[in-house]
């Protein structure tokens, strides 16, 4: 169990209920996707993901199913399926769909894997990981974002596969380690050694590394026994990772 239960919100199926004790609304009760957003979603999948180098059908299927619009503030919801990052509050952004798809495909997830995500943000990437069968542990430093993400994940029926906490994710989550996959969705000056320590043998870790707000590279670290292999695989632009092993 985590050492500080105050920071951790774990919910099981039994907790998926509202204050009256009734089960929370099922995904079937969600508002329908408008015609405009349905068309935009098709363009996102066919042109911006499959039309580029996203070839993994499971990733394409997951990104078709997850309602990105319901993770996004109402003021920018019309842009939900554009291939662009969007503001989600607290000076943070939800990543561009192509980058979410690329990172997810590069993780090579298998159902049942334990995944540590640093930077919950809107919770959208978390939902994509759950769609692919992962059990996700996700850390966010802004309480407001974590709460909004929790609400969206519960509403969409993903909550029982997610454990969340508000903390400095550069420290990892030692009580729950090792993790099969680690995904950092904010850019740091280096690969935090605490995170590679918490990676399982055969595990894969992705993190953008580079300047505070400038040029960064997505770095893939693979672990075999005690050996770490590091590869720079895509130029990217992420918000800063702020913390002990961040900026
Ligand atoms: N995966 C998110 C992207 C969020 S942007 C999504 O799909 O919406 C990156 C997030 O990382 C921001 O919310 C930011 O607050 C958070 N962050 C930055 N440094 C962090 C740290 N040290 N620990 C946890 N979260 C951090």
Residue with tokens 């943070």: 92
Asked whether the beta carbons of 60 and 49 are under 8 A apart, the reply is yes
pLDDT tens digits along 2-54: 446 567 876 544 444 444 455 555 655 899 999 999 999 999 999 999 999 99
Q: In the predicted model, is pLDDT for residue 155 greater than 60?
A: yes
φ/ψ of 224, rounded to 5, equals: -130, 110
pLDDT tens digits along 172-229: 999 999 999 999 999 999 999 999 999 999 999 999 999 988 899 999 999 999 999 9
Note the pLDDT of residue 159.
96
Note the pLDDT of residue 129.
98
Q: Please list the alpha-helical segments (H only) found in 19-142.
A: 35-43, 57-65, 97-107, 124-131
Please state the atom number of ligand 1 nearest to the C-alpha of residue 95. 3
Tokens found for residue 122: 């809107």
How far apart are the CA of 173 and the centre of ligand 1, in A?
15
Note the pLDDT of residue 26.
60
Q: Which of 3, 80, 95, 146 is the catalytic position?
A: 95
The yes-or-no answer on residue 95 being catalytic is yes
How far apart are the CA of 227 and the centre of ligand 1, in A?
28
Note the pLDDT of residue 14.
43
Note the pLDDT of residue 6.
64
Note the pLDDT of residue 7.
74
pLDDT tens digits along 43-94: 999 999 999 999 999 999 999 999 999 999 999 999 999 999 999 999 999 9
Strand ranges in the chain using DSSP code E only, listed in sequence order:
8-10, 86-89, 92-94, 114-118, 135-140, 162-166, 179-184, 199-210, 216-224, 227-236
pLDDT tens digits along 108-126: 999 999 999 999 999 999 9
How far apart are the CA of 22 and the centre of ligand 1, in A?
32
Total Cβ atoms within 10 A of residue 234: 16
Q: Using DSSP, state whether 226 is helix, strand or coil.
A: coil
Note the pLDDT of residue 213.
84
Note the pLDDT of residue 74.
95
Instruction: Please give all residues whose beta carbon lies within 6 A of any atom in ligand 1, as ranges.
Output: 92-95, 118-119, 121-122, 124-125, 139-142, 145, 168-170, 185-186, 239, 241-243, 246
Note the pLDDT of residue 11.
53
Note the pLDDT of residue 27.
56
Asked whether the beta carbons of 132 and 157 are under 8 A apart, the reply is no
Note the pLDDT of residue 119.
98
């Amino acid at each position: 169990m985590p050492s500080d239960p105050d920071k951790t919100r774990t919910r099981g199926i039994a907790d998926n209920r509202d204050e009256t004790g009734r089960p929370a609304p099922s995904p079937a009760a969600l508002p329908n996707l408008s015609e405009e957003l349905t068309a935009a979603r098709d363009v996102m999948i066919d042109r911006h993901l499959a039309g580029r180098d996203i070839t993994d059908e499971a990733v394409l299927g997951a990104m078709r199913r997850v309602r990105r619009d319901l993770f996004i503030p109402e003021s920018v919801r019309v842009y939900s399926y554009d291939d662009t990052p969007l503001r989600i509050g607290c000076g943070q952004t939800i990543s561009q769909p192509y980058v979410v798809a690329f990172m997810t495909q590069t993780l090579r997830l298998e159902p049942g894997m334990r995944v540590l995500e640093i930077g919950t943000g809107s919770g959208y990437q978390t939902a994509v990981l759950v769609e692919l069968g992962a059990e996700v542990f996700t850390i966010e430093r802004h309480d407001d974002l974590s709460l909004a993400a929790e609400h969206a994940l519960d509403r969409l029926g993903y909550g029982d596969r997610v454990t969340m906490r508000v903390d400095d994710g550069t420290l990892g989550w030692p009580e729950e380690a090792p993790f099969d996959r680690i995904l950092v969705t904010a850019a740091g000056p280096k690969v935090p050694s605490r995170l590679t320590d918490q990676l399982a043998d055969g595990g894969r870790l992705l993190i953008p590394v580079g300047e505070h707000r400038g040029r960064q590279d997505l770095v893939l670290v693979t672990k075999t026994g005690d050996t770490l292999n590091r590869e720079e695989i895509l130029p990217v632009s992420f918000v800063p990772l702020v913390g002990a092993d961040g900026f």
